[in-house]
Chain A
């Protein structure tokens, strides 16, 4: 509903007459309370200025504390002072006008011309006028000589090196003709710049500077009140001195002091002035300080919102709860409540809850009167409970709560969980939901919120429940996925070589909550694939090439894919919920590519995937615990064959590098199009390094991968690499091959001494070994030189992560803030909060990525597969 549209907001300056008119009282006394504790008449705490005591009535408007808005008072300043926040504006005027006649120091025609321009365009010509007037020596209107005008920030002005006082400044500004003020951007009807010289000071209502009574009975005044006391006191002294005919010097001193107090009343943090301090030595928090900065009114109170029914704690993992559940510590559950409405269907349950437990905290009657439920009055309360009443009870298992981790960068940073009350003091989440939150357990804290209405609870469950969010709304592929040990474990489980005797099979299945054991498929033994199949829905059909297939391709080249007859067990086929062949790895489970979980999430009700994940993680964890997944130093020892390959490759590299250097020196090196000789040389050196490392990497993988195909595979790093759980071939090469070329800023490290990287090298040696090539690995350890090269690259990595998180974080924030109110409406238009159109059809095609397959509306291939299902 749109009642009124705001067309414009106009900021202006208060007219002194206006200040007098809006004030309820002229404040004359510097005292606040008399010795009996009553406010002084015409003092700073006069009840005409508003009420801060509950029960009392305002002497101006007659309303009570909650309704009286407070009323301004006024201080008549004996001598005018400058408003420090406007002294820049005052300076501009004084620079460009004549002290004698007040006219702008430009020729008449020029003024006319500029006025026309302002009228037409509304431009602010202040800067231009000042720069033109600067060159002028004499006023063109009254012929008076122009003398130097100096501004000593914040409030002192000198003309011809003589101090000019606010009275004089005011007279000067008053002389400036109205139509010439337009050149400085002033709208004549609204602002006269002489108001920048204060003759009268508004006193803010008591309501914005309330005094507080400490437990000891001593009244403590607000900082603003303290400042006003100073102003009034000096004002009074100045008056007395003037009346008594004191010497000019004393009067000027007092005048300056009054100026200081008024200036610090507005802003107590001006560079040139010492801040006014409290008796304790603390700087006073005056008007500007109240508004400015992180803890100021805007960012702290207006933009920063606080909520009730929230909790925050450290998170720890619990693979034994469902992905939908959130373990809530008892101590938190005892503090937070949800309302439960008494109806004829639940009245008995609620009575039981009140009678037998201490979980009910309050009884709320239909007239909103509340009663605390204690062990003593339980019986009484139970008798009172009727339909239409409401109780507020602690959160219990099954309640819907929201869970959030900052930074909330996407929709999935806040999800709805089902509460499960657990002992100890941390929030417990299933490690599978770490991904959307981007959480880990190295001390991360997260926030929980408890929806208080039926609408809230329902909406949260429908829209934000974890199991409904497994597909990313951003790119239409799985985001809630198994990772690390989950993938490794599943991979090991589904290896061809994995089989269990009956006892082990029973233990694994029982651990995952399955209490029926299928009949064995390998004589008396059970294959891992059979156990995995128990988790699948009975009508699931899917087939695809596994991640392992890609890893194997480096070494075993198949002429043509034979699909489900793959001899390396690298083609996955599920028929009627039975895993017939293939290992389950990142291609089935991984983020953005997991074809199996993608199918489960899309083609079945969402509790299927929740169940699947819960059971699979348990099986994977149990299995990996049983079998033990570990590494030893021997795993990383370089085999003789590898050492040979490595040495040969490096030797070849050295020779080739030598040749390149030679060509570079003779300038016979072939240029890469668009590059200089030097650039071409560098690029060639880099490519050479990469090629050498590639060769060794291939060899290492070839050697290690045999482990997986063997009858009794060792569970170590290669399992993680091949299954896509963690790590890469490059990581392995770094450990047991060699590091290769160190990289700084997309090139070989360059900066260091003149003509060389480090003092160990010959000057002007551009060869591989002097340019950051590292021929050794982590197991061998590097020599000092190579270690230093490595550190150069390492340092850059460290700096990059720091800088890029900072920069991209801020960019993202700005984008998110700019777009946060945009909504896709039912007609698919994207509109702002006030219904202005941004797009006529969301994303120009009206497609919601969450309901697509990786951004494509339909996958023809999958549609075919589904067609074959029946």
Chain B
């Protein structure tokens, strides 16, 4: 009997593996071609001055430059600041909106659609839209604030080093809120009604239900959402590039925008595109984002077991 079973299992196993492998093949190929190969490709040039046409071997000079590159390390600091500000607002707001919409209030589908809309607008377009909103002269935001008597003189949202981080954070929160809200709503849909009924029987009010039932039950989703939010916040640069170009005075220069400028952006008659050095910066940036993710996964490992 045992012998018979052993003969059948590998065949069934093989039969199951084939369609699985075939289904995985296109995405695996795409991953190799579009992600893994380019990442390996950049290693070719980390020791070169490469302008897209000629490559000159420079040994460890790019590495020495990286260590001394104050502007890059400043941009790393700005990236942490930007990511911190974005996460500080976007996660609680997305969670709050998800909980409110999950209450199935009147018109919740319409509200969900409206809140999700910014997510489908291209970041470059939203960057341009917000350039009008944040304009000092005739800007919509300043007009509203002045009409509400909250400010007396127009705020220089994009030309003052004091306010530009607030401006890029508002844009980032506006653009990403709907996405995270949707993840949380999906998570909330998975929470059993029994838990809420039990809490009700035990006399828990809305506040207690949220903190002692909803939030713990959402922990695994929260862990994933936070990880996605952290990695995307560290990689954001497109909207900032359109909105403030990393200025004023590099105040909003984030890591990946600096890398973009190094490779493509600032070359003029007296400077060269620096693909080699940019490649090394990309590796450094990937390591930084990787380290942050690993630290987060280590810190957040308890969230997996919170409902057990």
A, B co-complexed: no
Chain A residues at the B interface, C-beta cutoff of 8 Å: none
Chain B residues at the A interface, C-beta cutoff of 8 Å: none
